[in-house]
Chains A and B, each alone.
Chain A
C-alpha cells in the first residue's frame, strides 16, 4: 500500500502462500506495519470505533433476524402484527433476546454518534482535500447508506412510529407529481409494493435492511483502501515527509484505538443497560395502526437535522430538494474549499465558522425534535422554530457554498510547521527523552 512492503514471510507455508495469494502480506502491510502519522489524536480513533459499530450491528442483526418475522399481518394477538409480536417475543422469550435487541437498537444511535464525530473531524482537519477526495466521497456514500439502513431498520419494529415514519418518508416521492404528473405516485406505489404502506413494504424493507450492511462493509473496504494509498491526514494537516513523521500502525494505533474503543463501549453499555429506551419514542411501543396518527411524527435523533430542513420548507418538492441537496453538497466539499491549508488549526477565520456550523447542525436537530408549532420567546418577540430552522438551513448551505470557497481566498493562515516530527519534538528536532 503506502510505501514498499516490509513483510518477510517467516515459514515455509507463508513463503509458499506469498507467491500465490499474498494475503498475509496484505494484512501485515495494512494492519501492522502501515506507517501512520505519530500525531493522531483522540478524534482519529473514530475510524476504529465505527468498524466496531458495524461489526456489532451485523452480528446482533444476524441473530435478531433468526427470531424476527417480517410480516404486517395480524397474529394471535389482536390489534397487533406479527412483526411487532416477534420483536416483543425477542424481548421476552428469546434467551438474551432483550440484550441483542437493545444493543442493536442503541447500536444504531452509537453508530451515528460516531459517524458524526468522524465527519466533523474530517471537516475540521481538512481530510477531504487532495489527495483524499475519493476517500471523502466514499465516506459520504457510506453515510447515505447508513441513513437508508437505519430508516429501514426502524421500520421493522412495525410500531406506530415505524409505520408513520415509513408513510411520511415514502410519500415524499409523490411530490415528484409536481414535475411529471403521476411519476411520484408511481414511484411510491412501486416502493410500497401496493397502494399503501403494508405487508409487502415491510417485507422488502427487511430484505434490504439485511442486504445493506454488507454493501456498507464493501464500501468500507474501499474507504480503507482509499485511506491507505495517500495515508492518514493528521491534526496538522501537513504531508508526511519521511519515516521520522510516522509510527507503525501496530502496536501504536492498535493499542490507542483499542483504548478509545473500550471507552466508547462503556458509553454504549451505559445506554444499553441503564437507559435503553432513552432515544426511543413511546409511540413505537404501540403496534402499527394505520388509522391513528401519532401526535408528532419524528424520526430518531440522528435524522432530525435533515427532518428540520424538510419541514422548514413550505413547498414539499422544494423541501425534498433542499434535503437531498444537503446530502449531495457533501460530495463537492473537496472542490468547494479553496484554502491551501488543510487543518483548521491554522485557519483562524474558518475555525470560527466551523464551530458555528457544528452548533448549526445541533440547532437543526433541536428544531427537528420540537413540535411544528413550537416557538421561542426572545424578549417579547415570538420566533417560530420553523424560521429558526430556515435560518439554520440557510447557514448549512452558506457554509459550504459561500464561506468555504470565499474564506480560503481571503484568510491569512497561520504559519505551518515544517514537519510532523519537528512539531512534535519541538524546535530542537532532537529526540526528546
Chain B
C-alpha cells in the first residue's frame, strides 16, 4: 500500500485508486516526540508510560524482551540506578534449584527470588494456556515489539487504546466477551477498555486524562521496541554530515580531475 500513491502517479493512474473496502477509520493524527530525524524520547513520558504499563497493561501483557537494567540506561526512561534496582526488586522471578536441588517449596509452589537488573520483566501468566484461560480464550500479545509489529506503529496502538466505548455501526454484531473497537481488524477485540481518565495517578501529579496516559504508554512501548532509537538519530546526524562533506570534496576532486578532459 505504501507504494501505491507514487507508483500510481508514475503510471498516470492516480485516479484509479485501489478499491479495497476501507472499514477502519484513518489512524488518529497524533505526533510523538521521537518521530522525525532528530526525535528523542521525552523522559517524563517514558517514566509515566512505564507506570501505565506497570499498573495497567502488565496485568495481562508480558514485556519479555526488556531487561530491568535498560530502564536506567542512556536513551531510555533514565531512572536512577537506585530507582531501577528498586523496580526490579518489586518483581519476583523463578529462583531455580536451591542447594538441595529443590525447585519448589513445601507447598509445591516454585521457588522465587526478587528480580535483579539483568532479569527481564516476568510475564503475568505461567504459560499460554494460563493466559488464555484468564482472558476468555484470547492470548494477550507480548508488548516488547508491539509498536513495530503492527501496521501504523505508534499511531495504531494509540488509536486502538483510545477508541473503546464507541457505538458500533448498524448491523455490526459484537459477540459476548468481545468489545467493539473500530481500529482492531474485524472490529471485535477481546481486550476490555484498558485506560480511562485518571486511571493512573502519576507520581509527579502530571495530567492523567486518557489521552495523556495513552501518549505516555505508547512512548514507553516505542522505546521498548527500539531502545537505541536515540543513538540511531544521533549517530545518523554525524554520518549524514560526514557523507555530505565527503561528497562535496569528492565532487570538487571530480571537477578538478576532469577539468581539461572533454567528456
Q: Write the residues of chain A forming the contact surface with B, with a CB cutoff of 8 angstroms.
A: 38-40, 77-80, 85, 88, 91-92, 98-99, 102, 247, 251-252, 255-256, 258-259, 262-263, 265-266, 269-270, 272-274, 276-278, 282-283, 285-286, 295, 301, 359, 362-363, 365-366, 369-371, 373-378, 382-383, 385, 424-425, 431-433
Contacts and interface: CB of A to CB of B under 8 A. Distances in A.
Given A259-B253, A286-B149, 15 more contacts: A78-B62, A78-B64, A98-B228, A255-B253, A255-B257, A269-B243, A272-B236, A273-B232, A273-B233, A274-B236, A285-B145, A370-B18, A373-B20, A375-B19, A432-B262
B262 A79 contact: no
Interface residues of B, number: 59
Given A91-B226, A424-B263, A366 B149 contact: no
Nearest to B123: A78
A269 B240 contact: yes
Interface in B148-178: 148-151, 153
A263 B244 CA distance: 8
Contacts of B237: 273
Nearest to B125: A78
A171 to B, nearest CB: 25
A252 B18 contact: no
A91 B224 CA distance: 11
Contacts of B82: none
A382 B19 CA distance: 9
A265 B235 CA distance: 15
A244 to B, nearest CB: 11
B247 interface: yes
Given A274-B37, A432-B262, A433-B262, A376 B250 contact: no
A273 B240 contact: yes
B16 to A, nearest CB: 4
B10 A362 contact: yes
Nearest to B66: A92
B254 A255 contact: yes
B4 interface: yes
B250 A424 contact: no
B70 interface: yes
A378 B211 CA distance: 42
Contacts of A79: 128, 142
Nearest to B142: A79
Contacts of A256: 254, 257-258
Contacts of A359: 10-11
Given A38-B261, A365-B3, A432-B262, A259 B251 contact: yes
B53 to A, nearest CB: 17
A301 B263 contact: no
B74 to A, nearest CB: 13
Contacts of B257: 251-252, 255-256
30 contacts: A38-B261, A38-B263, A39-B263, A78-B127, A78-B128, A79-B128, A79-B142, A85-B65, A92-B65, A99-B232, A99-B235, A252-B257, A255-B258, A256-B257, A259-B250, A262-B243, A266-B243, A269-B243, A273-B240, A274-B236, A282-B151, A285-B149, A285-B225, A362-B10, A371-B20, A374-B18, A376-B18, A382-B19, A385-B18, A425-B262
A91 B262 CA distance: 49
B236 A273 contact: yes
B246 interface: yes
